């Protein structure tokens, strides 16, 4: 089965589950109804912008999110009440980003790796939070998925001319380095949307995050560490991230 057909089948199955859930709301049931919504190889896309550099870092092709939401419909004979959990893993392949370091355009190699499992919640949202909603599967929910990511800078620059530019700035660093955040970057992902929007096109999150201090290793580490911290570390770095089938 092709990846596209597999995604369509997964999404169709989830929509059928939501339709069954909406039917359950019209009648009594003896036990809670739990609906499992899978996120299988959902595409992850978006940008994170270091505030000091003011240049977006775009997630590369091949970034994916895999996980599941387990939604518990509380009853019986009550207004639908959603509670649930979300678990998943974000994968981002190593990639290159373009940045200006000390005014010099650089090719920067990056690795982003999720720190632990992303675990969040799904809760019913206040009436009107999603505007006017109606029809099966249009219940309004708030999705909260705190996600932590370690960032590693694997290379800076693409050739001798970049090295010379850094040397002229008095840094004396080479074109290859190894720098990493001293702790994970935290993305407090929160979005209020309908269940239909959760399934397709999928949730999209915006906000800001803090880049922790960066530590560089090797002979150039003592010189490059304060440079990277001055250019990248700090609060209020905007992001726009989304996942979808």
Q: What is the pLDDT of residues 5-59, one digit of tens each?
A: 344 444 444 444 444 444 444 444 446 677 788 889 999 999 999 999 888 999 9
Domain ranges in the chain are 3-244
Q: Which of the pair, 45 or 77, is modelled with greater confidence? A: 45
Please, are residues 185 and 239 in contact by the beta-carbon 8 Å criterion? no
Calculate the average pLDDT of the chain.
78
Q: Which of 67, 81, 37, 85 is nearest to 196 (CA)?
A: 37
**What's the whole-model pTM score?**
0.77
Q: What is the pLDDT of residues 132-143, one digit of tens each?
A: 654 444 678 899
Rg (CA), the chain: 22
Confidence of residue 80 (pLDDT cuts 50, 70, 90): low
Q: What is the pLDDT of residues 81-127, one digit of tens each?
A: 667 899 999 999 999 998 877 777 888 889 999 999 899 998 888 77
What value, to the nearest 5°, has the Cα angle with vertex 77 and ends 75 and 82? 35
Residue 199 has pLDDT above 90, yes or no: no
């Amino acid at each position: 089965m092709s990846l596209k057909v597999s995604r369509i089948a997964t999404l169709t199955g989830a929509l059928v589950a939501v339709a069954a859930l909406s039917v359950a709301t019209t009648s009594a049931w003896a036990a809670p109804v739990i609906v499992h919504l899978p996120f299988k190889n959902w595409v992850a896309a978006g940008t994170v912008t270091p505030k000091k550099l003011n240049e977006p870092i775009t997630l590369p092709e091949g970034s994916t999110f895999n996980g599941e939401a387990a939604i518990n419909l509380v009853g019986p004979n009550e207004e639908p009440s959603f509670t649930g959990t979300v678990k998943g893993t974000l994968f981002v392949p190593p990639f290159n980003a373009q940045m200006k370091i000390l005014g010099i355009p650089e090719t920067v190699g990056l690795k982003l790796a999720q720190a632990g499992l992303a675990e969040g919640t799904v809760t019913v949202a206040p009436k009107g939070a999603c505007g006017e909603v109606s029809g099966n599967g249009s219940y309004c929910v708030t999705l909260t998925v705190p996600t932590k990511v370690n960032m590693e800078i694997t290379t800076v620059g693409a050739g001798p001319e970049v090295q010379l530019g850094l040397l002229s700035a008095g840094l004396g660093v080479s074109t290859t380095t190894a720098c990493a955040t001293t702790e994970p970057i935290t993305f407090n992902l929160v979005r209020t949307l309908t269940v239909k929007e959760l399934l397709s096109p999928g949730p999209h999150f915006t906000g800001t995050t803090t880049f922790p201090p960066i530590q560089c290793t090797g002979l150039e580490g003592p010189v490059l560490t304060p440079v990277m911290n001055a250019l990248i570390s700090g609060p209020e770095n905007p992001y726009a991230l989304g996942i979808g089938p």
